Chain A
Amino acid sequence: MSSKAVSAAYATRLGDNALVLGQRLIELVAASPELEEELANANFSLDYIGQARMFYTYAGECEGAGRTEDDFAFLRPEHEYHNLLLVEQPNGHFGDSTVRAVLFESWYVLLLEALTRCADEGLAAIAERAVKEVRYHLRHSSQWLIRLGDGTEESHVRAQASLDNLWRFTGEMFVADELDGVMLNEFEGPDLAAIETQWRKNVAAIVAEARLELPGDQWMASGGKQGKHTEHFGFLLAEMQYLQRAYPGAEW
């Protein structure tokens, strides 16, 4: 793999995480429990979609085949998306989306921080911008998890159930595949093993403050990075891509 091809593949993967989570958050627009939460959620969604645009544009430049950000977002089938399974999980109730956000953002912040120091200047520059946004997202989501876990009996029980349910999608974040290995060894990129240690520490602290129990070791789902998705993903893409599929080349 040439170094440009590595950059393109890695940027696409990060763009996929950002776009898919951004699309999930869009589904919550006009459905938030409070006006202020509504604005926050819409902001976060736009942040993620903005990140996806930067990653895809950079991937297109590195690839050099003339693909634009829209081509990446709207014209690829399921198996060409290499996002984590965690971000494609349905919003569920407020506790579910909060737990999903905490688990993902705790990882994503560490990954972006490592990327700001990598040898790929394009990726480092995008990570530099994105990490500021995600630090705030994580602050917001972890505060909510603490409120829910340490709130009423019902919010506690439901937050714990969300945590237990989504935990099986966290293992994949730390399983390095070939591309992760190349990024680490040839581009001084993120070290997923080091990130796992830090992530466990950070998540354990949030979970403890929320008076919740950290789930034990268990079977972990994987496949997102290889394009093997959970059953929910096709529906997400169908909705997101409908317009471009039905009216190819349609513009504002």
Chain B
Amino acid sequence: MTKQEWPLYEVFIRSRSGLSHRHAGSVHAADDEMALSNARDTYTRRSEGVSIWVVRSDRIIASDPAETSAFFEPAEDKIYRHPTFYDIPDEVENL
């Protein structure tokens, strides 16, 4: 019998309130509920999170690596778009 792989889900975890969800990794799961359980059991065993998002990997619309130059390079030489000329107060931790 050939084994059929379950669909892949991407896992996003928010480590604490106020921060945004970050990509933590991926899990296999047969359905959405199982994906959430598996993400919890795989990625939050050491109290890494307060919130989990999962999404089917094949539902993510990703940019094409072949188009990297067209997508991203035009922004590289526009230094005036970066807030590098401001001083950020030490108290601001997450910007």
**Chain B binds chain A:** yes
Q: Which of B26-85 contact A (CB under 8 A)?
A: 27-31, 33-34, 37-38, 40-42, 45
B45 & A43 in contact (Cβ 8 Å cutoff):
yes
A228 contacts the other chain (CB 8 A): no
Query: Which residues of the partner chain A approach B6 to less than 8 Å between Cβ atoms?
Result: 34
B28 & A36 in contact (Cβ 8 Å cutoff):
yes
A139 & B37 in contact (Cβ 8 Å cutoff):
yes
Q: From B39, which residue of chain A is reached at the shortest CB distance?
A: A36
Q: From B31, which residue of chain A is reached at the shortest CB distance?
A: A147
B29 & A143 in contact (Cβ 8 Å cutoff):
no
Interface size of B by CB at 8 A reads 14
B28 & A43 in contact (Cβ 8 Å cutoff):
no
Interface size bracket, A side: 10 to 19
Query: Which residues of the partner chain B approach A140 to less than 8 Å between Cβ atoms?
Result: 37, 41
B42 & A39 in contact (Cβ 8 Å cutoff):
yes
A143 & B37 in contact (Cβ 8 Å cutoff):
yes
Kindly state the separation between the CA atoms of A35 and B29 in the bound complex, as whole angstroms: 10
Q: From B27, which residue of chain A is reached at the shortest CB distance?
A: A36
Q: Looking at the assembled complex, report how far the CB atom of A203 sits from the nearest CB atom of chain B, in whole angstroms.
A: 19
Contact residues of A with B, CB < 8 Å? 34-37, 39-40, 43, 136, 139-140, 143, 147
